[in-house]
Amino acid sequence: MIRVAADLHVHTCLSSCAERAMRPRAIVEAAVARGLGMIGVCDHNSAGNVRSVAAAAGDRLCVIAGMEIATREEAHVVGLFPSAAAAEEAAREVAASLPRCRVPEEQELVDADGATLGLEPLLLSVASAFSLEGTVDLVHRHGGLAIAAHVDRRSFSVPSQLGFIPTDALFEALEVSAHGARVGRAAAFAGLGFALTTGSDAHAIDLVGEGFVVLDVEAPCFRELALALAGSDGRECGIA
């Protein structure tokens, strides 16, 4: 077994609330400098920049294809997928449920070097047509892991929008915000029967790696991450 530090919730410049400096090589350099061995690229309702971050990373860093999906209830769910293709297919379903609009310039599709390839023609930060249950099902249908995002926050979390965490939602994990993990909020969710994670939710370069989990796995890859969240075969996941 090896120990891998993983920040499973990082945005790129494709997310309208992220800084334009959140480009693939800058993200990778920041992650490597902070000792991370794995990151999850999770833009709002889109997986459009996942391949570019993976290309920039090469073999220096495991990049997990992800997406932060806004449900119909305006709760956020992080989906982590086994491949960029799986994430992109899920993103197409989400995109089909979003309203069309004029896109702000900062919502950019970029290549590995950060050059602009185009603008995502969707409003990325609004609620999709998928319910919470439907969102979790969407993630699972594409082979992914469903994580309730920043459950300790007072907005855009499952508890803030529903008033509770449904135990039948089949989440693979609950994510506590980086700040929440530092001040001990994870304890409030420890007895609910879910794995607990944290991530930076970075929208700026200096925040990459601010929150991360420690994985005890055989290799930094999606399959081992899934085993670690399930606590299977000796794999483990813990908040750093």
167: tokens are: 């135990």
Cβ contacts of 48-52, under 8 Å, gap ≥ 24: 48/14, 48/88, 48/91, 48/109, 48/120, 49/12, 49/13, 49/14, 49/24, 49/109, 49/110, 50/84, 50/87, 50/88, 51/84, 52/12, 52/24, 52/109, 52/110, 52/111, 52/112
Any idea which residue has 């001040």 for tokens?
A: 183
Q: Give the per-residue SS3 of 133-161.
A: HHHHHHHHHCCCEEEECCCCCCCCCHHHH
d(CA 171, CA 124): 23
190: tokens are: 């420890």
Predicted local confidence at residue 18, as pLDDT: 85
Predicted local confidence at residue 160, as pLDDT: 95
Query: What angle is formed at CA 160 by the lines to CA 154 and CA 161, rounded to 5 degrees?
Result: 140
Q: Give the per-residue SS3 of 10-23.
A: ECCCCCCCCCCCCC
Q: Interhelix angle for 50-57 vs 84-96, to 10°? A: 160
Predicted local confidence at residue 118, as pLDDT: 59
| Beta strands in 43-83, from DSSP E residues, in sequence order | 62-70, 76-81
Work out the average pLDDT over 148-173: 93
This prediction's pTM = 0.92
Q: In the predicted model, is pLDDT for residue 140 greater than 80?
A: yes
Of the candidate ranges 56-65, 128-137, 177-186, the one whose mean pLDDT is the lowest: 128-137
Report the DSSP beta bridge partners of residue 59: none
Q: Which fold has domain 2-239?
A: TIM Barrel (3.20.20)
User: Left if phi > 0, otherwise alpha if psi is -120 to 50, otherwise beta: which for 38?
Assistant: beta
Predicted local confidence at residue 103, as pLDDT: 47
Q: In the predicted model, is pLDDT for residue 93 greater than 70?
A: yes
161: Cβ contacts below 8 Å, ≥ 6 apart: 71, 73, 74, 75
Name the average pLDDT for the chain. 91
d(CA 101, CA 90): 20
Q: In the predicted model, is pLDDT for residue 104 greater than 50?
A: no
Residue % of the chain over a pLDDT of 70 = 89
Q: Which of 186, 155, 164 is CA-nearest to residue 173?
A: 186
Q: What is the pLDDT of residues 13-44, one digit of tens each?
A: 888 788 889 999 999 999 999 999 999 999 99
Q: In the predicted model, is pLDDT for residue 105 greater than 60?
A: no
Predicted local confidence at residue 28, as pLDDT: 98
Q: In the predicted model, is pLDDT for residue 46 greater than 80?
A: yes
Q: What is the pLDDT of residues 167-224, one digit of tens each?
A: 888 999 999 999 999 999 999 999 899 999 999 999 999 999 999 999 999 999 999 9
Residue % of the chain over a pLDDT of 90 = 79
Work out the average pLDDT over 100-127: 58
Domain assignments of the chain as residue spans, ordered by start? 2-239
228: tokens are: 């670690």
Q: Which of 226, 197, 202, 223 is CA-nearest to residue 212?
A: 197
Predicted local confidence at residue 129, as pLDDT: 83
